[in-house]
Amino acid sequence: MSYWSNTLLYLSQGARTSVLVMFTTLVLSIPLSILFAYLKFMKLPMISSALHIYTWLIRGTPLLLQLYFTMYGLPLILPIRFSRITVGIITFAINYTAYLTEIFLSGFQSVSKGQWEASTSLGVSKFDTLLSIVLPQATAMVLPTLANETITLIKDTSLLAAIAIGELLRNAREIVSRDLRIDALILAAGIYLMFTYGILIVFQQIKRRFMWLT
């Protein structure tokens, strides 16, 4: 195989890993963050305090440190072992759940209390009100922020190299070190830009579906 074929193949393998971690993180963190945001919004004393500590701790420490702790520190405390990719997904999900919790909380707070009160007066449960009335409006409000967080997420997957996962940037660096050419870094930059553009397009389409709620 030629240099370019080898380079593109190896970068595509890394890109697949980056996308896998991004999608899995979103699938795990979005439902959890909606639940946590709702619990914080309801201001249940013990639960709200625990969630406040969780979001403060995760948002106040670097994601890289969290990766190191889960990969190397946690096995020293608990008799558990995960594969490197599992460690990456778990850590990213925990991290982004904390950030998305605050984002969805701000969305819930932006919906007028009158809508909650009107639903209650009609005998609609708080949970049904959340799902059918509040959540769609809150989601519409926070879509731009969610788009930015998703773009940050795909770029943050480059941190997986710290625990020896072959994501896009790590594979590009290996090619550069092996062949002493910067082509792989330029191609990696182009792939990240395509990811970013693709994410923006997806969220623009989602925003159009929610436009009637804003």
CATH number, residue 70: 1.10.3720.10
Number of structural domains in the chain: 1
The encoded tokens of residue 36 equal 């946590």
Amino acid at 123: G
Nearest to 161 by CA among 152, 172, 151: 172
- The per-residue pLDDT for range 74-132, each reduced to its tens digit, is 999 988 889 999 999 999 999 999 999 999 999 999 887 777 677 777 777 777 777 77
Cβ atoms 71, 98 nearer than 8 A: no
In this prediction the pTM is 0.92
25-55: pLDDT as tens digits = 999 999 999 999 999 998 888 999 999 999 9
36 neighbors 101 (Cβ within 8 angstroms): yes
Is the pLDDT score of 1 beyond 70?
A: no
Q: Which domain holds residue 150?
A: 3-213
**Interval 6-18 mean pLDDT:** 96
Q: Torsion angle, CA of 22/27/33/34, rounded to 10 degrees?
A: 140
CB contact set of 131 (below 8 Å; sequence gap of 6+): none
